[in-house]
Amino acid sequence: MIKYNPKKWFSLIFQFHKSDTFRILFPTLVSIGIYTAIITYIGIEYLHLTTNSTTAVHGLLGIVLGLILVFRTNSAYERWWEGRKLWGGMINDSRNLAIKINAFLPESESRFRHFFSKSIANYAYATKGHLRGKVNLNDLETTEKLSVEELSTAKHVPNMIARSIYTQLNILYKQQIITGDQFIILDKEAKAFTDMIGACERIKNTPIPYSYSLFMKKFIFIYIMTMPLGFITSFAYWTIPVVMFVFYVLVSVELIAEEIEDPFGMDANDLPMEEMSLRIKQNVKEILFDKDKELLPVS
C-alpha cells in the first residue's frame, strides 16, 4: 500500500509509480492518438467534411457513462474499505484474545503462552497467504501441536491453526487451568477469527458480475471509437488530444476500480497485510510476555 501526504497535492501531480494509470495506459494512449489522427486526417483532407457535427449525443452518453463509472468506483471502494475494516477487526480480536489469555493463564504456564503467541500470529500470516492464493510456510512459527508437515498438506491452513487453538483452549478447560466462564469468553474472541476470514473470502470470491464488467468495457470502447466522428468538424485536429484525454480519464477510473475491488492482492493500492500481520505478531508477544524478558523456545 502506498503511503503519502495528501496535503502535498501539487507534488503528487508529478509523481509516478508502478500502478500509475498513465504509465499503464501510455501504449494504448499512443494507439488511440494514431487512430484519431487517421480518422481526423481522412475526414478533413479527403472527405472535406463541412457539415457541422454535433457533440450532443456524446454529451448525453457521457452523463450516463459518468453515472455508471461513479457506481463502479463506489462499489469497488466499498469492497476495499470493508476489507480494511475486517483486518482492523482481526488486529483488535488478536489483542483481545492475547490480553484475556494473559489474564487467565498463570505465569508458570509458559508452554501455553508460547503456543498462543505463535498460533495467533500464525493465523494472521496464514490468512494473508490464503487470501493471496498460497500460504508461505516460512512465515509461520512452528509449534509442538501443529507441525509444518500438517500445514503443508492442509487445503485451508487458517482452519487448521484455528482448530489447534480451540483444541488447546479445551485442554486448558479440562485441566481446570481456566474456568467454564473464562472458556466462554475466550471462545468468543477465537470465533471472531473464523468470522473474519469468511467475510474476506466472500469479498475475494465474489467479483463484480461479469455482464456488468463486460458492458462497461464495451460502452467505453464504443464511446471512444466514435468520438472522432462527432468532434472532427468542431475541433479539427484538436480532436486528437481531446479524444486521448477523455480516453485516459474514463479508462483510468475503470482501472482503479479493478485494482481496489480485490484488496487482498499485491498491487500498490491493496491492503498492507504484511505490515498488519507483523503488528499482530509483535503485539501478541508483548502482551503474553514481559517485553524485557527473553523469549526462550519451549521444546
Residue 8 is assigned to a structural domain of this protein? no
Mean pLDDT by groups of 10 residues along the chain of 299 residues? 60 60 84 90 75 70 86 90 94 93 88 91 93 88 77 87 92 91 91 93 89 87 86 82 90 88 86 92 88 44
Q: Are residues 148 and 86 in the same domain?
A: yes
Residue 297 is predicted with a pLDDT of: 46
Q: Which of 111, 141, 92 is nearest to 288 (CA)?
A: 111
Q: Which of 226, 213, 218, 219 is nearest to 32 (CA)?
A: 226
Instruction: Please give the biggest Cα pair distance in the chain.
Output: 93
Number of domains present in the structure of the chain: 2
Q: Are residues 46 and 100 in the same domain?
A: no
Q: Are residues 170 and 276 in the same domain?
A: yes
Cα(49)–Cα(122) distance, integer angstroms: 69
Cell numbers at 83, concatenated:
476489507
Q: Are residues 93 and 36 in the same domain?
A: no
Residue 298 is predicted with a pLDDT of: 41
Cell numbers at 123, concatenated:
493465523
Q: Are residues 235 and 280 in the same domain?
A: no
φ, ψ dihedrals at 208, nearest 5°: -60, 135
Q: Are residues 143 and 279 in the same domain?
A: yes
Residue 60 is assigned to a structural domain of this protein? yes
Q: Are residues 50 and 126 in the same domain?
A: no
Q: Which of 88, 115, 143, 148 is nearest to 279 (CA)?
A: 88
Q: Are residues 67 and 106 in the same domain?
A: no
Residue 252 is assigned to a structural domain of this protein? yes
Q: Are residues 170 and 38 in the same domain?
A: no
Taking CA atoms, 16 is separated from 8, 19, 28, 185, 208, in Å, by 15, 8, 17, 49, 28
Whether the model clears a pTM of 0.75, i.e. scores above it, the answer is yes
Q: Are residues 72 and 89 in the same domain?
A: no
Residue 10 is assigned to a structural domain of this protein? no
Residue 12 is assigned to a structural domain of this protein? no
Q: Which domain holds residue 117?
A: 82-206+272-288
Residue 3 is assigned to a structural domain of this protein? no
Q: Are residues 104 and 237 in the same domain?
A: no
φ, ψ dihedrals at 143, nearest 5°: -125, 160
Q: Are residues 179 and 157 in the same domain?
A: yes
What is the chain's length? 299
Taking CA atoms, 198 is separated from 66, 88, 156, 235, in Å, by 34, 15, 12, 54
Residue 124 in contact with residue 277, Cβ under 8 Å?
Answer: yes
Cα(148)–Cα(168) distance, integer angstroms: 18
Residue 14 is predicted with a pLDDT of: 60
